[in-house]
Amino acid sequence: MNQTVNIIKNRRSIRQFKDQQIPDSELQTIMECAILAPNAMNQQKWHFSVIQNKDLLLRMINITKENMLNCGVEFFASRAKDPNFHPYYHAPTIIFVTADEKNGLAQIDAALAAQNILIAANSYNIGSCIMTSTELLFASEKGKAIKKEMGIPDGYTHICAIALGYQEGESPIARPRNKEVIRACCTNPSSQMISSGKIEASGEGGRDGVQLD
């Protein structure tokens, strides 16, 4: 199978990580891939805080848990009370992705950059998990102070955080995807149709659904 397709197909969200840090050279390339993502009018109104410092990470974890307890949502409060809960799944590297809060397109750009990070990481066998519940870090005054410490520009909002590290334990099984959301909207009898994961010539004219393997 084509290597890029293989990497995309095999990426899964990893929620258990080894202690071992990822190599700087690979992190560097992963971040280059992030900023090479397409972005509207090449404005690049995004920001990436790469965090590996254990002291800072510990403070982020404690503030996140505190904010989860106080956010008024039972789901988050009960998770924060669980002694085994770790907001970043013990990953040794965390990337906070933020973007200009007034620029809706920058937020799409940042999501595309995040996907590049996940795919580039997977190409090095580095596991990843994209998270948005991480937004709770900034929900208190302590969190806002740490946002400054993380170098996030004023007026930039949380898009997601990405946990990076080497996977601990078994690979998760792919969660089911609904294939019905893909439609081949072709009526030309000689159109190429997607079928069984391959592009195939169809002599039958338009078809309603698409099957992927």
Under 8 Å between Cβ of 90 and 16: yes
x-marked contacts with ligand FMN along 15-34 as a string, rule CB under 6 A:
x-------------------
Of 18-26, 76-84, 129-137, 202-210, which segment contacts ligand FMN by CB under 6 A? Answer: 129-137
Q: Which two tokens stand for residue 37?
A: 């993502």
Instruction: Report the nearest approach of ligand FMN to the CB of residue 163 (Å).
Output: 8
Q: Does residue 12 interact with ligand FMN by CB under 6 A?
A: yes
Q: What are phi and psi of 195, to 5 degrees?
A: -150, 135
- What are residue 95's DSSP bridge partners? 50, 162
Q: Does residue 129 interact with ligand FMN by CB under 6 A?
A: yes
Q: Does residue 80 interact with ligand FMN by CB under 6 A?
A: no
Of 12-20, 54-62, 183-191, 202-210, which segment contacts ligand FMN by CB under 6 A? Answer: 12-20
In 3D, which of 25, 60, 31 has the Cα closest to residue 47?
Answer: 31
Give 110's contacts (C-beta < 8 A, 6+ positions apart). 46, 97, 98, 99, 159, 160
The one among 72, 175, 178, 181 contacting ligand FMN by CB under 6 A: 175
Instruction: Report the nearest approach of ligand FMN to the CB of residue 100 (Å).
Output: 18
> Judged by CB, which is closer to ligand FMN: 13, or 211?
13
Sheet of 46-51: strand order equals: 46-51, 93-100, 156-165, 127-131
In 3D, which of 38, 55, 13 has the Cα closest to residue 164?
Answer: 13
Of 33-41, 125-133, 149-157, 204-212, which segment contacts ligand FMN by CB under 6 A? Answer: 125-133
Under 8 Å between Cβ of 27 and 95: no
Number of residues that bind ligand FMN (CB under 6 A): 11
Distance CA 99, CA 161 (A): 12
In 3D, which of 168, 170, 175 has the Cα closest to residue 16?
Answer: 168
Of 67-75, 77-85, 130-138, 146-154, which segment contacts ligand FMN by CB under 6 A? Answer: 130-138
> Judged by CB, which is closer to ligand FMN: 85, or 124?
85
What does the binding site for ligand FMN look like in residue numbers (CB under 6 A)?
12-13, 15, 129-133, 172, 174-175
